[in-house]
Structure 1
Amino acid sequence: MKEVIAVVRMDMMNNTKKGLTESGIDSFFAHEAQGRGWGFVNRKLIEGVEEGYEEAAALLGEKGKLYPKRMITVVVEDDKVDDVVETIMACNRTSKPGDGKIFILPVADGIRIRTGETGKKSIE
């Protein structure tokens, strides 16, 4: 099993939910999140802030703020990972900075609390 974690724009969430459902992925989690990528931040200013320079903090201004995002978590069998990734990419690609990121992690096991089922049965 694999866990696919995607961080996407807030305004793309409905499109993503629809795409996942149409792809046969009905079970997933969505969390409110905040974050930013390196493209939005001047690294030299960040270094100045970390060193305690007030001028750098003042110059950082709005570029240092966190942006609202959605974090989607999907646990699927290994053979469905590519479909999930392709769907999320298709639903969220605007070709502009801020489209998001996708991470794929191994999952050792899953347990359905209600029945005690484990492994593949826990996510079916």
Structure 2
Amino acid sequence: MKEIIAIIRPNKVTATKRALDRLGFPSMSVVAVFGRGKQKGIANEVAVEISPIVRGLGSFKGMPYVPKRLLSIVVPVEMLSKVVNTIIKINQTGDIGDGKVIVCPVEDALRVRTGETGQAAIL
């Protein structure tokens, strides 16, 4: 099993959820997070207008942090590339701030309600 951690734009969560649901992966955890990459924030990422005059003054250095969503999904190894490719397809705009996808190994999983373990616990 693998855990896919995807950091995406907030406005892409619903489309990502729908696409993963169609693949048979309706379960995920989603957390509101703040962060930034090398670009030090994206002014157009939030619904706040920054005057062109202010931008032109050179005093605008970027946002300290940009709102994003962190998705965590545990999948069987054989479905990994299909799920990752779906996340990329939905979230890739070609612009700065499209996000990141990180894949981590999962040693085991346990469904608390039933006691199921391994893949049975995630499917």
Q: Structure 2 length normalisation: TM-score?
A: 0.81
Unaligned segments of structure 1, at least 5 residues = 42-58
Unaligned segments of structure 2, at least 5 residues = 42-57
Q: Find out whether 1:19 has 2:41 as its counterpart.
A: no
Shift of 1:74: 0.4
* 2:110–2:121 Cα contact (<8 Å) kept: yes
Counterpart residue type for residue 71 of structure 1: L
Q: Structure 1 length normalisation: TM-score?
A: 0.80
Shift of 1:40: 2.6
Q: Which residue of 2 aligns with 1:50?
A: none
Shift of 1:119: 0.7
Q: Distance in 1 between matches of 2:28 and 2:59?
A: 36
Q: Which residue of 2 aligns with 1:99?
A: 98
Runs of 4+ in 1 over 6 A off after TM superposition: none
Note the alpha carbon deviations across 1:22-77, whole angstroms, 9 max, x for none.
Answer: 12211111111111111237xxxxxxxxxxxxxxxxx9865251110000100010
Q: Name the Cα RMSD after superposition.
A: 1.7
Counterpart residue type for residue 14 of structure 1: T
Structure 1 residues 1-124: aligned runs within 5 Å? 1-40=1-40, 62-124=61-123
Tell me the matched-pair count: 107
SS of the equivalent of 2:31 reads strand
Q: Distance in 2 between matches of 1:32 and 1:64?
A: 17
